[in-house]
Amino acid sequence: MTTRALPASTPASQGVEASGIHAFLDALETDPDIEPHSLMIMRHGRLVASGWWAPYTAERPQLLYSLSKSFTSTAAGFAVAEGLLRLDDPVISYFPELDADVTDPRSRAMLVRHVASMASGHEAETVERARALDPDELVRGFLRLPPEHDPGTVFAYNQPTTYTLARIVQRVSGQSLTDYLRPRLFDPIGIGEVAWLRDRAGRELGFSGLHATTDAIARLGQLYLSRGMWDGRQVLPESWVAEATRLHTANDQGPMGGADWRQGYGLQFWMSRHGYRGDGAYGQFCMVLPEHDVVIATTAATVEMQRMLDLVWTHLLPAFGPAPLPGREEADAALAERLAGLALSPAAGKAAPEEWSAVSFGSDGISAEVIADPDGHRLTLVEDGHRLELRLADSGWSVAEAPVPTAVSGGWTDADTLEVDVLFLETPHRLAVTCSLPDRTCTARWRTQPLHPRPLSAMGAPRRSV
């Protein structure tokens, strides 16, 4: 389908000070622990600022990690509206084949609303224990783990709860999450192609693994901000928006430990010090601020997620004024120019030494082969027999689409050392590779550790088979 662009406006006409957005960009770009990839800001239903740090681009999907949960919540909302599931049904009632396996009374008392609100009664994450109990059926493994408390009484950020919710939606609809959401959510609000990682049984994960554009994040946030309305049509029931974004489960400690992870949890949405949000590991955010009529969508690579939110509260919130701002044309134009030119600095390095043409670097993990040619040199990374061939130009980022979208930069930092950064452009992840010429060794280090281990050649959005 052809996606219609979001309605756009200048910041000043929507009461937004360009200087506040500049200050936020300055803070992001000078923080050594935050690598920003994209930013979109909606005010009063208008896109007032958007930018992508090259080589990241607007049309490229990103791995959203746990921001996927908010899309799963939306699927559950449609299923509730259609009478396919009820929040106060026991979870076990949707899995009658597991009835004999699940004997613990707390597990049997667990309701759909409990798994939707991270209140299964477990004290901590259960995903590894559940997989150990049943590698092929995570729901069975999860329900066989007796909760330490009554369901609905304690909070624990717990992947199998969302996986179970997703399984229920897929079971009652007879479709994958993607196929179920396409005519109900994606098409009505203009979200283009998405892709979802699947488990070993071929089921979409639900709790993570969705790849979608920053634009898709912004559209989801705007739908919720508008109480389910889109272009004058009630796409998502207003009752679900209210239910999903209110406090269901109080919590003293979230997975990130910061203040914005201690404000409580809705139905696959976090409560924030300001508004509410969906979020995913390493800075994938959908922030909805009803008090300011604002949606902020970001993608990034950082472990300092609380710091990233703090920068939003410090720099962006004061920029949202109550009325249009006259005489700001030059400021808005300067901001638009800056946003159009955002870029990540390539890794430093010089061209290959002239005295060699090919060399291999050994490693216990990822090894490398480098071949010099007139256009720069080719770098091949080898991991468990999987080969990923990359082109390294003499300067800047070298972008390739196959076998997986990447951007490569770097070179020789001295006569003996080759340092290369590889961005996997459909993920938040950057691989730093260092090769030593004297001892022919290679080290490879992730700046942010992938949470879904895959071969390097598959570090991107899953492609649908034709």
Q: What is the pLDDT of residues 419-444, one digit of tens each?
A: 999 999 999 999 999 988 888 888 99
CB-CB contact of 211 with 195 (8 Å)? yes
Q: With the C-alpha atoms ordered 19, 25, 30, 32, is the resulting torsion angle positive or negative?
A: positive
Residue 253 has pLDDT above 80, yes or no: no
Compute how many other C-beta atoms are within 10 angstroms of the C-beta atom of residue 165.
29
The two three-digit tokens of residue 84, written as one number: 């396919």
Query: Degrees (nearest 5) of the Cα angle 218, 81, 207?
Result: 50
CATH number given to 12-82+167-340: 3.40.710.10
Residue-averaged pLDDT of the chain: 94
Give 389 or 357, the one with higher predicted confidence.
389
Average pLDDT rounded to a whole number, residues 258-271 = 96
Q: Which helix (H) or strand (E) is 22 found in, with range?
A: helix 18-30
Q: Can you read off the two tokens belonging to residue 123?
A: 């004290």
Lowest mean pLDDT among 105-114, 173-182, 246-255, 270-279: 246-255
Q: Is the pLDDT of residue 239 over 60?
A: yes
The ranges assigned to domains in the chain are 12-82+167-340, 358-458
pLDDT at 466: 34
- Per-residue burial over 295-305, b if 16 or more Cβ lie within 10 Å, else e, is bbbbbbbbbbb
Amino acid 415: pLDDT = 85
Query: Which stretches of 281-375 are assigned E, i.e. beta strand?
Result: 284-289, 294-301, 358-361, 366-373
Instruction: Read off the pLDDT band of 352 (50, 70, 90).
Output: low
pLDDT at 111: 98
Mean pLDDT value across residues 45-56:
98
**Position 363 pLDDT exceeds 80:** no
| Residue 219: predicted pLDDT | 98
Task: Please say if the pLDDT value at position 149 is more than 80.
Answer: yes
Structure tokens of 284?
A: 């994938």
CA pair distance 143, 164, nearest whole angstrom? 9
Across 154-164, average pLDDT? 97
| pLDDT above 90 as % of the chain | 84
Among 130-134, 265-269, 408-412, the range scoring the smallest mean pLDDT is 408-412
Classified as helix, coil or strand, 54 is strand
pLDDT at 335: 98
Confidence of residue 330 (pLDDT cuts 50, 70, 90): very high
- The phi and psi torsions of 43 (rounded to 5 degrees) equal -135, 130
**What are phi and psi for residue 67, nearest 5 degrees?**
-60, -20
